[in-house]
Amino acid sequence: MSKKGRLALVACAAFASLAFAGTALASYAPKIVVTSTDDYSLSAGVVISNADTPTAKVAIYIPSQYSVATAAPGKLGSVTATASAADLGGAVLPLTGELDAIAPTAATIAAAQQCGVTPAQTWNLHLTAAGQSLDIPMFVVASQVPGYPWSLVVCLPPPDVPTGTPGRATFGAKLLSATFSASAIKEPPTGSGDLRWTSLWTPYNPGVGTVNASGTVEVQSNRPLPVAGTFSHTQKRIVKYKTVNGKRVKQVSTKITWTTNVTENSKPPADVVTVVLYKNKIVGRGTGSLTVKGVKSVQLTVAMDLDGGTGSIPTGQPAGPDDLYYHDLGAAGCIATPAFQGLPCTNGTLGEYFILGKFTIKTFTK
């Protein structure tokens, strides 16, 4: 779906969890994406190629500017994913479900020990596919990394070991993409600067189910704040005369001309698409004009889509407007975290950001 179409859907309606995949090929190039809107709602997600080796462990580090609440048991948000199931001939399946805060159980305590963490909170990715449920613990862990007080840690079973191997992933499932939202995590309303989420990913050795610690990489997603959008307009009175039934009739209309501008952390975004809507129809882009008559005022909806131009994390099949879009910065956009002592920093992204505004403009009637 085009970005223009996504923006129209979001404006008219008044508008991510981890993904892993593996084969025997020795490549490993995960991406993490964090997006938000101007109401500070947050979604996060990851994507990795089906040709990449399976992931054993991932830790997502949350910048200190974000708040992480202690969640009462219950639903925190939604989860969507896609997975390739080896036991179903490699078919790519959509998975849907929710992220829940749960009380620790014997199973999650054992999983945390095996993962090597002592969680402050236990969350659960509850997914459904092919009539079966899949539960993946996500642990909220106090971090020792400066600037990152909390991390979200998930450990996964190997999907590519022989059928019948103890601990093998259900269905031999390779999770290719996923997104999640979490109400317990909030973006700061007064944040300023580059709020850089980072993460460490550790793969398995292909086909044998042993952890390849030396293959650990760092990947990041940046949120430049604050995001500031402006909409400026002028009104021009236009008078025309028309002969109706032999009489000269005066007709008054209004030409509204507008310009828009947007910055993030006081700099232009990597990419931006702006649409302006009137009566739920697109009437222009970042600059434009509209002429109306016979109404006392018009309401224009302005939707700005920042940094959503080069890739997406699918939330199902087929792709849709709810997918997590991003601008891929590649290795050049990944700034190595000193605390990780020289681990390769392989990819950075800018997560998509929406701004939505409504403006009522008085018109000339006489």
| Residue 121 CA: distances (Å) to CA of 33, 74, 116, 129, 146 | 23, 12, 15, 26, 20
Q: DSSP readout, 301-338?
A: EEEEEES-SSEEE-SSSS--TTSEEEEEEEGGG----G
Q: Are 203 and 158 in contact (CB under 8 A)?
A: no
46 compared with 132, residue with greater pLDDT: 46
Cα first-last separation, the chain: 43
Residues 265-310: tens digit of each pLDDT: 999 999 999 999 999 999 999 999 999 999 999 999 999 999 988 7
- What is the reported pTM? 0.85
CA dihedral 187, 191, 193, 199 (to 10 degrees): -20
Give the side-chain half-sphere CA count within 13 A for 180: 26
Residues 321-339: tens digit of each pLDDT: 678 889 999 999 999 999 9
Please give the pLDDT value at position 14: 34
Please give the pLDDT value at position 16: 28
Please give the pLDDT value at position 366: 86
Q: Percent of the chain having pLDDT more than 70? A: 90
Strands 287-293, 217-225: pairing is unpaired
Q: Which of 78, 144, 150, 97 is nearest to 121 (CA)?
A: 150
Which pLDDT band holds residue 17 (cuts at 50, 70, 90)? very low
Neighbours of 319 (CB within 10 A): 12
Q: Is the pLDDT of residue 348 over 90?
A: yes
Taking the domains of the chain in order of start, what are their residue ranges? 16-226+308-354, 228-306+356-362
Please give the pLDDT value at position 170: 87
Distance CA 125, CA 135 (A): 6
What would you report as the CA-atom Rg of the chain, rounded to the nearest whole angstrom? 24
Which pLDDT band holds residue 24 (cuts at 50, 70, 90)? very low
> 344: which residues sit within 8 A by CB, 6+ positions away?
217, 218, 336
Please give the pLDDT value at position 71: 95
Please give the pLDDT value at position 229: 93
Q: What average pLDDT does the structure give for the chain? A: 88
> 21: which residues sit within 8 A by CB, 6+ positions away?
48, 49, 50, 51, 52, 54, 84, 174, 175, 176
Which pLDDT band holds residue 41 (cuts at 50, 70, 90)? low
Please give the pLDDT value at position 319: 65
